[in-house]
A and B are shown apart, each in its own frame.
Chain A
Amino acid sequence: EVQLVESGGGLVQPGRSMKLSCAASGFTFSNYGMAWVRQAPTKGLEWVATISYDGSSTYYRDSVKGRFTISRDNAKSTLYLQMNSLRSEDTATYYCTIFDYWGQGVMVTVSS
């Protein structure tokens, strides 16, 4: 059974940093590109970033480019999202996904 379990969310002040993790199991993690997708409260889905199966290629939406870094550790079957210089508009539930399967999501609230 495929499982994606996010962690690391919470309340953070504007301008500060936070790192999300996603522990994967039930599939060969190192064979799959991975992504982070977010959803602001009562809003739609918004793609954030994608990383290739081996970590050699990364892609970001413009609004997070230069602030967020997606990475992975294939030995640990874990995906990461380092978020720096956080803004109020980054407040959302963040999902780890391979698009066939999604994690349960982790809430990030950026507020003073």
Chain B
Amino acid sequence: DIQMTQSPASLSASLGETISIECRASEDIYSNLAWYQQKSGKSPQLLIYAANRLQDGVPSRFSGSGSGTQYSLKISGMQPEDEGDYFCLQGSKFPLTFGSGTKLEIK
């Protein structure tokens, strides 16, 4: 199985700050990576797919990058509504596997 190692587990950011979340795959996933935001009590929302493609309707302050085994999600200018949990998902090989999540809070 492909292991997805996500870091950090938690993050506290000030309004307007730029933050990054990382996911490292245990083998090459060929950019088959998505990022999701999940707010408390809600279902996940797709932010980024194919490593760097912004889902329709997602603010442009969100961006994704990476290739091979290393991927990152960047939020350029933290907003209050960005608080929540963030997960990466590899879609390269079954079983599909998620990162363990990052809890993002406003400082």
Contacts and interface: CB of A to CB of B under 8 A. Distances in A.
B94 A45 contact: no
Given A99-B34, A99-B91, A47 B98 contact: yes
Interface residues of B, number: 20
Interface residues of A, number: 18
Interface string A26-69: 00000000010000000011110010000000010110000000
Contacts of B34: 99
Given A44-B87, A45-B87, A102 B44 contact: yes
A103 B44 CA distance: 9
A95 interface: yes
A61 B43 contact: no
B96 interface: yes
A100 interface: yes
Given A44-B87, A44-B101, A99-B34, A62 B95 contact: yes
Interface of A: 35, 44-47, 50, 59, 61-62, 95, 97, 99-105
> What 7 A-B pairs have minimum CB-CB distances, sorted nearest first?
A47-B96, A102-B43, A45-B98, A59-B94, A44-B101, A61-B95, A44-B100
